[in-house]
């Protein structure tokens, strides 16, 4: 199978800051053209300019993962800019730490919609386009919380991330014959601003102390795992979830 020229074009959701920005950075460093997308258009634009002030190899796009039409518009925009897309990274997510018996039905739906439905829509829109192309790499961001029930995050967040692992398997199975791989990465607690925003200092210290390797995970390393899975050489790896949790969950 011939690798299309657009194999080195990637779109990352929720890339305006944090893990998403780290992923976009590592893809850019690895030679990818990158579409930085975020529900906050200003945040996406600022991040893209920081990566590539020239705007030649990195662009920004507004993308609300709740809207299928936003994924479709982004696909069209990147195709018009660079002739196609070869990689999708479903990273956008909401995190809440609300105690399980305090979660309202509305909050539960909000988290599931952004995290799980957003990933589903991305896989659906880009998966169909990749299948027509005969090539594609989809990387979904899961979480340790989806594997161990979430020690520091809410039940709704944990459930959404567990669902992403399952969706990854579904799309991997359905797209494998079309040259498209679908994998997930499941990080433990990461050294990003969001973690410090949702966890009080004393709780963050306790979480860090509980990690067998003794440190929060590196967002840049997660980005490097994305680069690995995005490679044309990763053709035989699909339906997998890579653990990067510092030894908190071993299987």
d(CA 212, CA 194): 22
Q: Which of 26, 78, 80 is nearest to 223 (CA)?
A: 26
Above pLDDT 90, what percent of the chain? 88
Question: What's the pLDDT score for residue 246?
Answer: 95
For the segment 192-196, the average pLDDT, to the nearest whole number, is 80
> Which of the four CATH numbers 3.40.50.720, 3.10.20.90, 3.40.1180.10, 1.10.3720.10 does domain 7-244 have?
3.40.50.720
- For the chain, how many residues are written? 251
Question: What's the pLDDT score for residue 230?
Answer: 98
- pLDDT-based confidence at 177, cuts 50/70/90? very high
Question: What's the pLDDT score for residue 198?
Answer: 72
Tokens of 36: 């930085």
For the segment 207-234, the average pLDDT, to the nearest whole number, is 95
Above pLDDT 70, what percent of the chain? 100
Question: What's the pLDDT score for residue 123?
Answer: 99
Reply yes or no on whether the pLDDT at 156 is more than 90.
Answer: yes
Q: What is the mean pLDDT of the chain?
A: 95
Question: What's the pLDDT score for residue 194?
Answer: 78
Q: 48-65 burial by CB neighbour count: b if 16+ within 10 A, else e?
A: beebbeeeebbbbbbbbb
Look-up of token digits 């956008």: 92
Q: Is 249 a catalytic residue?
A: no
**Strand pairing partners for 233?**
none
Give the number of other Cβ atoms within 10 Å of residue 13's Cβ. 31
Reply yes or no on whether the pLDDT at 214 is more than 80.
Answer: yes
Which sequence spans correspond to the domains of the chain?
7-244
Q: What is the pTM of this model?
A: 0.96
pLDDT digits (tens, 9 = 90+) for 19-57: 999 999 999 999 999 999 999 999 999 999 999 999 999
Measured in Å, how far apart are the chain's first and last C-alpha atoms? 34
d(CA 116, CA 103): 17
Question: What's the pLDDT score for residue 222?
Answer: 98
Question: What's the pLDDT score for residue 116?
Answer: 98
Q: Where are the alpha helices (H) located in the chain, listed in sequence order?
A: 18-29, 41-51, 68-82, 105-112, 118-133, 145-148, 155-175, 193-198, 201-210, 219-230
Reply yes or no on whether the pLDDT at 125 is more than 90.
Answer: yes
Supply φ then ψ for residue 50, to 5 degrees.
-65, -40
Reply yes or no on whether the pLDDT at 1 is more than 70.
Answer: no
Reply yes or no on whether the pLDDT at 196 is more than 80.
Answer: no
Question: What's the pLDDT score for residue 151?
Answer: 75
Supply φ then ψ for residue 124, to 5 degrees.
-65, -50
Tokens of 5: 């020229």
């Amino acid at each position: 199978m011939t690798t299309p020229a657009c194999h080195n074009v990637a779109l990352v959701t929720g890339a305006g800051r944090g893990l998403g920005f780290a992923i976009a950075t590592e893809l850019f460093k690895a030679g990818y053209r990158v579409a930085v997308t975020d529900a906050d258009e200003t945040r996406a634009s600022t991040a893209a300019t920081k990566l590539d002030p020239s705007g030649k190899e990195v662009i920004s796009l507004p993308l609300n993962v709740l809207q299928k039409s936003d994924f479709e518009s982004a696909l069209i925009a990147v195709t018009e800019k660079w002739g196609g897309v070869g990689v999708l990274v479903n990273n956008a997510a909401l995190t809440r730490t609300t105690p399980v018996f305090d979660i309202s039905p509305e909050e539960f739906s909000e988290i599931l919609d952004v995290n799980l439905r957003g990933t589903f829509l991305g896989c659906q829109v880009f998966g169909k386009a990749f299948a027509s192309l005969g090539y594609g790499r989809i990387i979904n961001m899961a979480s340790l919380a989806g594997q161990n029930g979430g020690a520091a995050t809410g039940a709704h967040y944990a459930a959404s991330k567990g669902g992403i692992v399952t969706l990854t398997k579904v799309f991997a199975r359905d797209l494998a014959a079309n040259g498209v791989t679908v994998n997930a990465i499941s990080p433990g607690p990461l050294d990003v601003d969001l973690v410090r925003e949702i966890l009080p200092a004393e709780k963050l210290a306790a979480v860090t102390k509980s990690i067998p390797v003794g440190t929060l995970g590196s967002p840049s390393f997660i980005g490097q795992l994305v680069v690995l899975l995005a490679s044309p050489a990763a053709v035989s790896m699909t339906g997998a979830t890579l653990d990067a949790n510092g030894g908190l969950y071993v299987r």
